[in-house]
Amino acid sequence: MTILPTDLLLRACLAFCTSWLVSWPAVSVGQSLPGVPTMGAPISPAPVQGARPAPSPAAASPGTTSPRTIGWDALVPADWDPMKDLKGLNLSILNDADPRATAALAKLREAWDNAPINPTIVGQLVRLPGYLVPLEETKDGLKEFLLVPYFGACIHSPPPPANQIVHVLPRSPAKGLRSMDTVWVTGVLTGTRTDSYMGMSGYRIEATQVVPYTERPPR
């Protein structure tokens, strides 16, 4: 994992919280899948010209067997502000030796690792696209990975908040996939927290399907 100076880490966190990049294909850190926005503060950014809107989370119907396609914004409580602990802090005057920068980063990391989940989406059968961060791989394929909303998350930049990381356990090992590949993951979403060496996840999906990403969701 790339280690950045403290002030750059803070700025990376700030950029993550304020950017809504929707270009495709994603080729640099921070870019996101079309129709799958990264977080903003608040979670209702101004429309980006030419961007496809993110899918809106829908309540699961009793007895439904078809997964609901959701976007990453559905995983975040509408009233949660990921940057509230940094308000009033002027990042432009901080450097790596400034104890205020170290303290701010530690405070932000603690808040993000304990980021609240959205209870209204827990227990639903969902279909979610994202980028793959391997955790355990065998000769048969990936047995465990993280799903994240933008390219480079957990690898070249600070981990996103826990409510923007999904721990995925495929029913069968996922074959032919590499780090930062884009995939669709289908399964029941649970509010299970997992502390891995790549980041703290607030959700888990025991996936019934993991397939390469296409703009049209798989059936």
Q: What is the SS3 assignment for 157-207?
A: CCCCCHHHCEEECCCCCECCCCCCCEEEEEEEEECCCEEECCEEECEEECC
Residue 24, pLDDT above cutoff 70: no
Q: CB 92: neighbour CB atoms within 10 A?
A: 6
pLDDT number for residue 12? 52
pTM for the structure as a whole: 0.73
Share of the chain above pLDDT 70, in %: 65
Is residue 36 within 8 Å of 26, Cβ to Cβ? no
160-217 per-position pLDDT tens digit: 999 999 999 999 999 999 999 999 999 999 999 999 999 999 999 999 999 999 988 8
Residue 47, pLDDT above cutoff 70: no
Task: Indicate the domain borders of the chain.
Answer: 6-212
101-128 per-position pLDDT tens digit: 778 778 888 889 999 999 999 999 999 9
Residue 5, pLDDT above cutoff 70: no
Q: How far is CA 31 from CA 36, 153, 210, in A?
A: 10, 10, 21
6-212, CATH topology level: OB fold (Dihydrolipoamide Acetyltransferase, E2P) (2.40.50)
**Of residues 150 and 57, more confidently modeled:** 150
Q: What DSSP assignment string belongs to the chain?
A: -----HHHHHHHHHHHHH-----SS--STT-B-TT-PPP-SSS-PPPPTTPPPPPPP-PPPTT--SPEE--GGGGS-TT--TTGGGTT--GGG--TT-HHHHHHHHHHHHHHHTPPP-TTTTT-EEEEEEEEEEEEEETTEEEEEEEESBTTTTTTSPPPPGGG-EEE--SSPBPS--TT-EEEEEEEEE---EEETTEEESEEE--SEEEE--SSPP-
pLDDT band at 22 (very low <50, low <70, confident <90, very high): very low
pLDDT band at 38 (very low <50, low <70, confident <90, very high): very low
End-to-end CA distance of the chain: 35
**Of residues 116 and 37, more confidently modeled:** 116
pLDDT number for residue 215? 84
Q: What is the mean pLDDT of residues 75-98?
A: 77
pLDDT band at 81 (very low <50, low <70, confident <90, very high): confident
pLDDT number for residue 144? 97
pLDDT band at 32 (very low <50, low <70, confident <90, very high): low
pLDDT band at 94 (very low <50, low <70, confident <90, very high): low
Q: What is the mean pLDDT of residues 5-29?
A: 42
Cα torsion angle, 36, 38, 40, 45, sign: negative
